[in-house]
């Protein structure tokens, strides 16, 4: 039987644990209360004004059934809002608020710091190679995910 450290799934899980811990610590030290998923959602809403939550879930590769809770928390924090859709009266469009824009602008240095910390121990070239390999492995397995990454179809 292989050692856990020879299994990509175990290593991916460990790296996820580390990356979340680092992200939360850096963001908290900067005075913010935002999870990595909330950050990804907020940044994606800003980049795609008026998108619906199903599209948002696809763009950040997050489960469609649990994205509602992420959006609820962003709305409660005053960072995003839901508006009736101009295209589908059953749907809601998502918009970033002014407070959400300010938060993204102010939190960026902490998020960038977290990314650097996650790759510490690697040279710049090794970090680029890790990112390339992660993207390649993720692209090859995207459709196997319960929450595959989807392109915007606004």
Residue 154 is predicted with a pLDDT of 42
Could you give the number of structural domains in the chain? 1
Residue 57 lies in a domain: yes
Residue 24 lies in a domain: yes
- Give the contacts of 2 (CB within 8 A, at least 6 positions apart): none
Residue 88 lies in a domain: yes
**Distance, first Cα to last Cα, the chain:** 48
- Give the contacts of 87 (CB within 8 A, at least 6 positions apart): none
Residue 130 is part of which domain span? 4-144
Residue 152 lies in a domain: no
Residue 151 lies in a domain: no
Q: Determine the 3-state secondary structure of 119 from DSSP.
A: coil
Residue 140 lies in a domain: yes
Token duo for residue 152: 């915007």
Please, where are the H alpha helices in the chain? 8-29, 36-47, 53-59, 67-76, 98-118, 124-141
Residue 106 lies in a domain: yes
Mean pLDDT by 10 residues, the chain (154 residues): 84 96 97 97 96 93 92 98 84 94 97 97 96 93 85 55
Q: What is the DSSP letter of 151?
A: -
Stated pTM of the model: 0.90
Residue 152 is predicted with a pLDDT of 54
As a whole number of angstroms, the longest Cα–Cα distance in the chain is 57
The CATH code of the domain that includes 11 is 1.10.10.10
In whole angstroms, what is the distance from residue 71 CA to residue 80 CA?
8
Residue 87 is predicted with a pLDDT of 79
Measured in whole angstroms, the distance separating CA 143 from the mean position of its chain's CA atoms is: 18
Residue 42 lies in a domain: yes
Q: What is the DSSP letter of 87?
A: S
């Amino acid at each position: 039987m292989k050692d856990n450290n020879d299994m990509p799934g175990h290593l991916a899980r460990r790296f996820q644990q580390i990356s979340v811990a680092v992200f939360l610590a850096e963001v908290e030290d900067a005075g913010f209360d935002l999870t990595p998923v909330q950050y990804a959602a907020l940044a994606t809403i800003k980049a795609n004004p008026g998108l619906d939550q199903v599209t948002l879930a696809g763009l950040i590769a997050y489960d469609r059934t649990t994205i509602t809770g992420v959006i609820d928390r962003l709305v409660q924090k005053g960072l995003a809002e839901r508006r009736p859709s101009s295209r589908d009266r059953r749907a809601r469009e998502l918009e970033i608020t002014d407070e959400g824009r300010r938060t993204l602008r102010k939190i960026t240095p902490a998020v960038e710091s977290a990314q650097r910390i996650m790759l510490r121990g690697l040279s710049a070239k090794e970090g680029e190679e890790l990112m390339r390999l992660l993207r390649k492995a993720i692209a090859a397995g995207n459709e196997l995910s319960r929450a595959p990454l989807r392109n915007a179809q606004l």
